[in-house]
Amino acid sequence: MSAALQGPDLGVCYYPEQWPETLWAGDAARMVALGLSWVRIAEFAWARIEPEAGRFDWGWLDRAVETLGQAGLKVIMSTPTAAPPRWLVDRHPEILPVDDRGITRKFGSRRHYCFSSPRYRIEAARICRAVAERYGANPHVQAWQIDNEYGDHDTIHSYSDAAGAAFRDWLKARYGSIGALNTAWGTSFWAMTYADFAQIELPNNLVEEPSPTHLVDYLRFASDEVRAFNKAQVEVIRPLSPGRPITHNYMNQHTAFDHYELGQDLDIASWDVYPLGGLVHGRLPEADKARYLRVGDPDQTAFNHELYRTVGKGRVWVMEQQPGPVNWASHNQAPADGMVRLWTWLAYAHGVEMVSYFRWRQAPFAQEQFHAALMLPDNRPDQAHGEIERVAAERHLLPALGPRPAARVALVLDYASRWASQSLPQGATYRAAHIALDWYAALRRHGVDVDIIGQHSDVAPYDLVVAPDLLIVDDGFIQRLKAARTRVVFGPRSGSKTRDMQIPAGLAGGPLAPLIDLRVTRVESLPPYHREAVRYGNATRPGGKWRETVDSPEAVLATFEAGQRAASPALIGNDKCRYVATLPEPDLLARILTDALTWAGVDHLDDLGDLRITRRGNLGFAFNYGPDAAEVPAPRTARFLIGERRLGPVDVAVWDEGG
């Protein structure tokens, strides 16, 4: 458990190998003067550490660690396995990943390796051991990062020969017999039957879509490969660097592997926060993207803070915080002046212990020349530098706070269910990640704190649990919900698939039976030019792009209006559980979820618009994402520590609620 913090620890990503050594000491001194205490290094430095096979050049890295440490910085040492050197690729080209077209991906960027390559597993463990033996006991090295951004550039899934062989071994272990696999995969359909595991190939380059179970099993296998790769490095580092926490830097809205499972082997979850790219590539309609162009989606970043706090078993860092325009999105706008400060306080408010900015100095060469940093390439401070300086000063205005306590509401994110909907989307516009974020945002707009949990999580602390897309249900999770005082709202498709990606024997929804009695007899995915109308209470509101026909003895709380199967249930429920049979448009979703809050006894505010508030201990935090000033809904007796009750655009307020 993390210690009490008086504001966030601050850090930066630094690349001594990219700059003349004459700059290092001055850089380190300026970092400390700015208020930074952590510095991450070496995640892409393999070629400098080992320029030829077996020949190590430690001198430059020894001096870098000493320079940074002597200045008063704590070093996060990285294992450099995200960028294998050219000589290794030349010696062992079989380590390269293969894309879904069967084309080998080449050297010249990063993440050019296949998780299933036995040779790369050996080489990764070898370089990890060399770095850990060198720096594991170094007093300046206070934490470790494994690799870098698993899955960036779509690199979780490789279709190499090694992956095929490993997949077949995985299937043998899972099913035991080829007959059991044929039954699970439904291979009698389209004469896909296998006589031996040796016949099974990876699910790419097929004429039509694969069996959904074939695809989901491959996605499960690929996730297990990532965890095994990561765990192997953790097991090297732990005995060589006792007492230092180990992390990995995850990414935004990335579900190609199970983050909860990977997190079991780590001490802290960290993630890389780039809100403006997330906005451009995200869920919001274009009008809202224009409104939030320079501030980002008001809910996407907080959603991920909550997720990774759970992944990290209560401990979360930001390893890379966007400081200005980036280079990798389809469009790369600059943050509004003040947003880096806002994002930093947002992180702390949501339980983040340390915020590290990417990067110290903007690179004047290579792929990321347009990626801003704290310093310009000519060594002058950029905009974020002054905003961080302000945060460092403001920290002293706050009392020390312990870990963020559990909220009263939780949202379920389940990776197996995400893979299930990827395998059988049943609609071109179905995006589970967007749906979950819509539900989260609908709650957050009413001032409600929301934890993100998995099916493994304890549900006892929560008055309300919402599950927007829980296709595959664990019986144990349902039983824990039944035993708890918690009330539950399930979205459409919940309980619709077995572990083998088949319709449950009692029809979709059947596994929810301990909580609610229903059967889904028909599903429709609807095109963008059509919207269902739903009658809820005294108003008719637009339904969404998904509609289910539900057979249930439970109370009908809302109905589809007019047209096809008019008056059929759109929302059903009992005293414990509710089920939504559509993907509601924003107005209907807000009504359903705010009513659920009242039903569960959770206090909430009127719609906050562009304002977001959250609480940590006795402190309240407000963040204004809008273009106009807004009134902070703090208690009348609140004592403001940062900011004021009338909060301007791109500004932060923090107040003490007492108690």
Whether residue 276 contacts residue 370, with contact meaning beta carbons closer than 8 Å, is answered with: no
Q: CB-based contacts of 194: which residues, under 8 Å, 6+ apart?
A: 178, 181, 182, 187, 200
Task: Tell me how far apart the alpha carbons of residues 593 and 447 are, in angstroms, rounded to a whole number.
Answer: 13
**What is the widest separation between alpha-carbon atoms in the chain?**
76
Strands 316-321 and 354-357: parallel
Specify the amino acid at residue 510.
G
Verify whether residue 320 is a known catalytic residue.
yes
Q: How many Cβ atoms sit within 10 Å of the Cβ of residue 556?
A: 14
Residue 521: what residue type?
A: T
Q: How many CB atoms lie within 10 A of CB 297?
A: 22
409-412 sheet: strands from edge to edge: 450-453, 409-412, 464-467, 487-490, 577-580, 569-573, 555-560, 533-536, 539-542
Residue of 439, 435, 456 whose CA lies nearest to 596: 439
SS3 of residue 384 by DSSP: helix
456: Cβ contacts below 8 Å, ≥ 6 apart: 260, 477
Nearest C-alpha neighbor of 34 from the set 14, 15, 16: 14
Which one of 320, 394, 532, 548 is the catalytic residue? 320
Question: In angstroms, rounded to a whole number, what is the distance separating the alpha carbons of residues 476 and 481?
Answer: 9
3-state secondary structure of 105: coil
Contact 309, 316 (CB under 8 A): yes
DSSP 406: P
Q: What is the Cα–Cα distance from 261 to 255, expressed in whole angstroms?
A: 12
Helix (H) or strand (E) holding 391: helix 383-394
> Is 554 an active-site residue?
no
Other beta carbons within 10 Å of 649: 15
Contacts for 501-505: CB closer than 8 Å, 24+ residues apart: 501/211, 501/212, 501/213, 501/216, 501/420, 501/423, 501/424, 502/184, 502/186, 502/213
Cβ proximity of 226 and 156 under 8 Å: yes
Gap between the Cα atoms of 362 and 377, Å rounded: 5
What is the SS3 assignment for 555?
Answer: strand
Tokens 């029809």 map to which residue? 507
Residue-level length of the chain: 659
d(CA 590, CA 579) in angstroms, rounded, equals 15
Terminal CA-to-CA distance of the chain, rounded, Å? 23
Residue 100 DSSP label = T
The residue annotated as part of the active site, out of 43, 50, 123, 149, is 149
Query: Closest by alpha carbon to 411, among 626, 217, 633, 593?
Result: 593
What is the CB neighbour count within 10 angstroms for residue 167?
A: 22
- Closest Cα partner for 153 from 367, 398, 318, 337? 367
DSSP 244-296: --EEEEE-TT--SS-HHHHHTT-SEEEEEE-HHHHHHTSSS-HHHHHHTTTT-
Active-site annotation, residues: 149, 320
